[in-house]
Amino acid sequence: MNRLTIISVIIVIIAIVATGFFHSIKQSPSGQNINTGNFNTENSNSIETPPVAANDNTPATNATTPPRGYNAAPISDFVPPIDNFAARITKKPFGIYITPATSPVQPERFQGYHTGDDAETTADEQYKDVPIVSMADGEVILARYVSGYGGVMMIVSTIKGQTVTALYGHLRLSSLTKKVGNNAKKGEKIGVLGTGYTSETDGERKHLHFGILKGRSTNVKGYVSSKAALTDWNDPLAWLKEQGAL
């Protein structure tokens, strides 16, 4: 084989190799970086998620799991004794000074500083049963007729080291669902309000007198003669708000 033939063969081989190389480039996906294997996703509406290896220890994301640092609001250990409790306090709130002449309720037979909150009833509720529920889990320590109230129930509760006694006044005595020594659950119905201006309320209008005494107590006073004496009671509305019940 002469030199010219050898040179011709070499040229043909080079041409074949070059043709194969440029053909492989032409078949590569548009936008692919050959050196990295990454795709240019600019102007693309979707990004392909790479598969997760079987031994990948990365925790799965749960859409319902609260983000780190999130604290859900705790459920209160207390509830209001009657629905719309705060909105019903329109005549005799805690601590108001009452006299027969200045009372927002007429006629009035009491005088002094009010030891609880009065939750009023509506015109539609005058001849309907209005349920009253236990403010918290606790023990019934009084359930009887009391002058000035009609039916009264008192329930003592100790929660997170704090002991308080709730007084529910102007209940229909025959409707009471608990006796002294029984336990009541938070939100459990303990009776209904008595009918206004009858013996069920000792002649008072139909409403709930709700008091919260500090500690364990069977003090049934609805009024005290001095403002200083109010220190034995909590302001029910403010106290329930502090506990997250309102």
The DSSP-derived string for 121-185 is --GGGTTS--EEE-SSSEEEEEEEEETTTEEEEEEEEEETTEEEEEEEEEE-GGG----TT-EE-
pLDDT tens readout for residues 111-125: 999 999 999 999 999
Single pTM value for the model: 0.71
> Does some domain include residue 208?
yes
**Structural domain tally of the chain?**
1
Q: Residue 223 and residue 233: Cα distance in Å, rounded?
A: 11
pLDDT value, residue 75: 81
> Does some domain include residue 165?
yes
Q: Residue 73 and residue 71: Cα distance in Å, rounded?
A: 6
pLDDT band, residue 100 (cuts 50/70/90): very high
Q: Does residue 204 have a pLDDT over 70?
A: yes
> Does some domain include residue 67?
no
Q: Residue 159 and residue 137: Cα distance in Å, rounded?
A: 9
Q: Does residue 138 have a pLDDT over 60?
A: yes
CB atoms within 10 A of CB 100: 11
Q: Does residue 206 have a pLDDT over 80?
A: yes
> Does some domain include residue 43?
no
Contact 118, 148 (CB under 8 A): no
pLDDT value, residue 38: 37
User: What domain range includes position 135?
Assistant: 85-242
Q: Does residue 42 have a pLDDT over 60?
A: no
Among 67-76, 195-204, 215-224, whose mean pLDDT is lowest?
67-76
Contact 221, 115 (CB under 8 A): yes
> Does some domain include residue 15?
no
The amino acid that residue 246 corresponds to is: L
Residue 8, CB-side half-sphere exposure with 13 Å CA sphere: 5
Mean pLDDT of 156-181: 97
> Does some domain include residue 207?
yes
Angle, CA 111 vertex, CA 144 and CA 238 arms, to 5°? 75
Q: Does residue 210 have a pLDDT over 80?
A: yes
Token code pair at residue 224: 């005290």
pLDDT tens readout for residues 47-57: 344 444 444 44
Task: Using alpha carbons, select from 170, 168, 169 the residue that is nearest to residue 155.
Answer: 168
> Does some domain include residue 158?
yes
> Does some domain include residue 130?
yes
Q: Residue 92 and residue 115: Cα distance in Å, rounded?
A: 10
Token code pair at residue 215: 């500690």
Domain CATH for 159: 2.70.70.10
